[in-house]
Structure 1
Amino acid sequence: MQFFRHLKPVKAMTFDLDDTLYDNRPVILQVEAQMVQWLHATHPVSATRSFDWWRDIKRDLAKQDNWLPNDVTLWRFKQIEYGLGLLGYTSQQAKLAAEQAIEKVLSLRSDFTVPDQTHRVMRELAQQLPLIAITNGNVDVEKIGLADYFTLVLKAGPDGYAKPHGQLFDKAQQHLGLPAQHILHVGDHLISDVMGAKQSGLQACWFNDQQVDIYHSHRARLLPDVEITALPQLLTLID
């Protein structure tokens, strides 16, 4: 644990989910691989175009509608719908296929086990402080067993602009009814989490389990208030 500023008393915490409360990297790799297999098997015409072609569609859609990167589920839906339309599907066929694909994505997306250590830490924290989840992703906190720890779950897209935009941080602060400086946001991303929280007036705890040197990271914009390398260290901040 490393402190960069003197922490004000922590009366509530907000949490990033992906890569903070669990390692999301292998989950996403598996989801992407299984979705390619599913799409090719269910809609063989999709296999006639390369990964780069599909990636370019996603990028071009974001240029046409800059809201899409704020909602990863909608963005993927539009990518599949538009791509299959280009490959000859009618608008109705493409929409139905995209809906089925998203159903599959969301099922795979939340099909993993959260570490026991995370449950132990979150259970103890939730007994002492109100906790809120703030995520740019689309994991189902009910399915992965984290829902009971949070008084509120805020998701980019349905609930507002993606972090580091301040909208979700502001909603969390309003829900808690606490001064922002007494809320500690915990997250792994130096831009989305650390910079986003600090610019919204919250204190920021950087979860750095990858041994990144903040002074040599291209993502570093603002120093966090505190850096931790393991979740149990959070418990010492509320003693």
Structure 2
Amino acid sequence: MIRFNRALRPFSVMSFDLDDTLYNNHPIIKAAVKAQQDYLSALPSYLEQGPKYWQQCRNEAVLQSPELADNVTKWRQHTLRLALSKLNLNADDIEHHANAAYNAFADARSKIVVSDDVLKLLDNLAQHFTLVAITNGNVEIERFNLHNKFSLVLQAGMHGKAKPHKTLFDKAAAYFDIPKSEILHIGDSLDTDVQGANNAGCQSVWLNDQGATYAYKGLADVEIANIHTLAHFIK
């Protein structure tokens, strides 16, 4: 299925969201959260705090430092140190356990295998367009099989404010010295991907395959139900 809500203008760059656009991130993030929780639960003083302790500390962390909302890596690392600091551990133990718990999360977070058919699609698109990744997530792309597929990778926090803010799109356009209208952004979220691209003056493709409810009521330029529909744009 492909639906054009607006006629596309010529574009030279295709930018991709990563999580839940090029692979199913749900089991990956679930496993990563479990790996972190398993590590922390081995600490008796942490386990005693109860099942809501992590979320309480996470909420507290972003209230203390609202800028963490744009950097999920720092938000998690800050929350780990905050949660452990409340357990009467010494400074060395706090640092050790915070790093070890985060590494448990990051190792599981990177156990992604993008399917061969998606890799082939990207290779085919790359013969006609410059490919870029623009993500709000904290996946370490160099640790799995998307590591050599993009000319530029921009991550929220590290390179600018999270989508739907337009910063990452601005940076992509400046990097390639092109008008933002020449970027066609593809993503699964209306709230972050489509709204962000629209805010920035880029063109947008909504991959509508999550069955989620979104707050944003604007339209993508194009709506698709399967990532392989992008082959339509290969001349």
State the TM-score bracket (shorter-chain normalisation): over 0.9
Query: How far did residue 211 of structure 1 move?
Result: 5.1
Using a 3 Å threshold, how does the CA distance of structure 1 residues 15 and 218 change in structure 2: closer, same or farther? closer
Q: Which moved more, 1:49-58 or 1:189-198?
A: 49-58
Partner of 1:236: 232
Query: How far did residue 34 of structure 1 move?
Result: 2.1
Partner of 2:32: 31
1:227 has 2:223 as partner:
yes
- SS of 1:185's equivalent in the other structure is strand
TM-score w.r.t. the length of structure 2 is 0.95
Partner of 2:85: 85
**What are structure 1's unaligned runs of at least 5 residues?**
none
State whether residues 190 and 214 of structure 2, in contact with CA within 8 Å, keep that contact through their aligned partners in structure 1: no
Query: How far did residue 51 of structure 1 move?
Result: 2.4
Partner of 2:10: 9
1:151 has 2:151 as partner:
yes
Q: Which moved more, 1:80-89 or 1:98-107?
A: 98-107
Supply the AA of the counterpart residue of 1:200. A
Superposed, which structure 2 residues align to 1:156-235 within 5 Å? 156-210=156-210, 217-235=213-231
Query: How far did residue 64 of structure 1 move?
Result: 1.2
Using a 3 Å threshold, how does the CA distance of structure 1 residues 132 and 144 change in structure 2: closer, same or farther? same
State whether residues 32 and 104 of structure 2, in contact with CA within 8 Å, keep that contact through their aligned partners in structure 1: no
State whether residues 32 and 107 of structure 2, in contact with CA within 8 Å, keep that contact through their aligned partners in structure 1: no
State whether residues 70 and 162 of structure 1, in contact with CA within 8 Å, keep that contact through their aligned partners in structure 2: yes
Supply the AA of the counterpart residue of 1:16. D
**What are structure 2's unaligned runs of at least 5 residues?**
none
- SS of 1:149's equivalent in the other structure is coil
- SS of 1:108's equivalent in the other structure is helix
TM-score w.r.t. the length of structure 1 is 0.93
Supply the AA of the counterpart residue of 1:26. P
CA distance in 2, matches of 1:155, 1:117: 25
Q: How many residues align?
A: 234
State whether residues 10 and 237 of structure 1, in contact with CA within 8 Å, keep that contact through their aligned partners in structure 2: no
Instruction: Name the % identity.
Output: 37
Partner of 2:49: 49
Task: Render the CA deviation track for 1:139-195: whole Å, top value 9, x for unaligned.
Answer: 121222112110111111111111111111110111122211121000011011000
